[in-house]
């Protein structure tokens, strides 16, 4: 994203009822089931959802007490929680097939610790983290507000609030903001598409959603009425997996930074924390957020890279985007490595990732969420490195 001049930037979000998010939720529910039974279980679960059909596939290593029947039941309960009981996709009668099998021994030997060898990365790859001062959560503003609009609709729907009566689980949003010299100053357009019951008129849906959109954006940021697009196709009754096939890991930009920062390419949901696609991406966000929270930068991008079976990251890269506070980026890279063990085991232990905390991450983004100390969720959003970073750079 540019630092100078005037430009528009857009991000989208999707609700927990979007087909791909239904798949993500089920995959993370499977992961949580294994981690609840064994904190060191290995899981790589992919889910496909379509008209009244759910298919789980992938590799696991965990206790026999986690059965296929149990996982099928948990998948059904996840769909129930999302709110699907429709003719084309219902928690009650969707057919569920579980095709999970044992993890490859070739992969396992690279990851497992043995003798003097520490636990290795579960795959090669590059991971990115990002933080900026645009919002209180240190997330990019277009994605922040796109998520916020859908979360508020979902909360009202789940509470049976009459203000959103007739709206169903599947929904998408898109927010375009105007930037001047790197700062967001207002919205130029907003798009919200939401599934609804048969017979609802376009005007009714717009009447329900306009106050939610207005109250979600900062004062004075609303675009003109002509640039607010509510269900622009005109009708959205057939939705969810009945309307479109869903797969785990197809919303990685929604899951991260809305396109405002690079993405390494790996998806998160359904993967246990030995998979650095997930755990190292969480570590990247954690470090980038702490850098910005410590006042060392207004924007920070951080990259890690790994080789399968190798413990130490191959590289640590920090970009401070113009570096207005004149921080030595090379020194910062070294300091971050000193403050956090970036081996897979170190990341897992530092962020307490070997716990059943993942189903809640599957919708509305893995980043920018409030850490919950009691539940142990979103530990990568803590800013507990700030004092050490300030001390290291005399801030």
Is residue 208 a known part of a binding site?
no
DSSP string over 135-159: STTSS-HHHHHHHHHHHHHHHHHHT
Is residue 46 a known part of a binding site?
yes
Is residue 334 a known part of a binding site?
no
Is residue 235 a known part of a binding site?
yes
H or E stretch at 318: strand 315-319
Is residue 250 a known part of a binding site?
yes
Is residue 272 a known part of a binding site?
no
Is residue 275 a known part of a binding site?
yes
Is residue 20 a known part of a binding site?
yes
Residue 213 C-alpha from the chain's centroid: 22
- Per the structure block, which two tokens stand in for 356? 């059943």
Contact between 67 and 108 (Cβ < 8 Å)? no
- Please give the Cα distance from 354 to 361 (Å, whole number): 15
Is residue 101 a known part of a binding site?
no
What is the DSSP code (8-state) at residue 355? S
- Please give the Cα distance from 123 to 104 (Å, whole number): 13
H or E stretch at 14: strand 6-14
Is residue 350 a known part of a binding site?
no
Contact between 59 and 104 (Cβ < 8 Å)? yes
Strands of 42-50's sheet in order across: 95-102, 53-61, 42-50, 246-247
Is residue 33 a known part of a binding site?
no
| Backbone φ, ψ for residue 66 (5° rounding) | -90, 100
Which residues lie closer than 8 Å to 255 by C-beta, 6 or more apart? 267, 268, 269, 365, 366
Is residue 134 a known part of a binding site?
no
Is residue 267 a known part of a binding site?
yes
- Please give the Cα distance from 115 to 253 (Å, whole number): 39
Annotated binding site: 18, 20, 46, 59, 103, 170-172, 235-236, 244, 250-251, 267, 271, 275
Annotated binding site for K(+): 46
Annotated binding site for Mg(2+): 20
Annotated binding site for L-methionine: 59, 103, 244, 275
Annotated binding site for ATP: 18, 170-172, 235-236, 244, 250-251, 267, 271
């Amino acid at each position: 994203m540019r630092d100078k001049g005037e430009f528009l930037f857009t991000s989208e979000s999707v609700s927990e009822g979007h087909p791909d998010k239904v798949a993500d939720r089920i995959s993370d529910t499977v992961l949580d089931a294994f981690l609840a039974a064994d904190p060191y279980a290995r899981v790589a679960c992919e889910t496909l959802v379509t008209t009244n059909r759910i298919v789980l596939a992938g590799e696991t290593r965990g206790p026999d007490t986690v059965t296929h029947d149990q996982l099928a039941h948990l998948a059904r309960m996840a769909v129930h929680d999302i709110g699907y009981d429709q003719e084309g996709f219902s928690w009650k009668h969707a057919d569920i097939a579980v095709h999970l099998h044992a993890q490859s021994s070739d992969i396992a030997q690279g990851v497992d610790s043995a003798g003097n060898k520490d636990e290795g990365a579960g795959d090669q790859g590059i991971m990115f983290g990002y933080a900026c001062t645009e919002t209180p959560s240190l997330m990019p503003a277009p994605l922040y507000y796109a998520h916020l609009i859908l979360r508020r609709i979902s909360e009202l729907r789940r509470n049976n609030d009459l203000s959103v009566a007739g709206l169903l689980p599947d929904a998408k949003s898109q927010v375009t903001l105007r930037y001047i010299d790197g700062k967001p100053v207002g919205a130029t357009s907003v798009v919200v598409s939401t599934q609804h019951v048969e017979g609802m008129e376009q005007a009714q849906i717009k009447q329900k959603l306009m106050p939610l959109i207005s109250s979600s954006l900062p004062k004075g940021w609303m675009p003109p009425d002509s640039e607010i697009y509510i269900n622009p196709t005109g009708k959205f009754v057939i939705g969810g997996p009945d309307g479109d096939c869903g797969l785990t890991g197809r919303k990685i930009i929604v899951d991260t930074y809305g396109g405002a920062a690079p993405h390494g390419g790996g998806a998160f949901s359904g993967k246990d924390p030995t998979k650095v696609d997930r755990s190292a991406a969480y570590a990247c966000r954690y470090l980038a957020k702490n850098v910005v929270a410590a006042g060392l930068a207004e924007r920070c991008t951080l990259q890690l890279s790994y080789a399968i079976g190798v413990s130490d990251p191959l590289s640590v890269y920090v970009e401070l985007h113009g570096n207005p506070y004149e921080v030595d980026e090379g020194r910062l890279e070294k300091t971050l490595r000193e403050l956090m063990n970036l081996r897979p085991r170190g990341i897992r232990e530092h962020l307490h990732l070997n716990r059943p905390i993942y189903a809640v991450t599957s919708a509305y983004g893995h980043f920018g969420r409030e850490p919950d100390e009691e539940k142990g969720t979103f530990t990568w959003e803590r800013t507990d490195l700030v004092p050490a970073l300030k001390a290291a750079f005399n801030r």
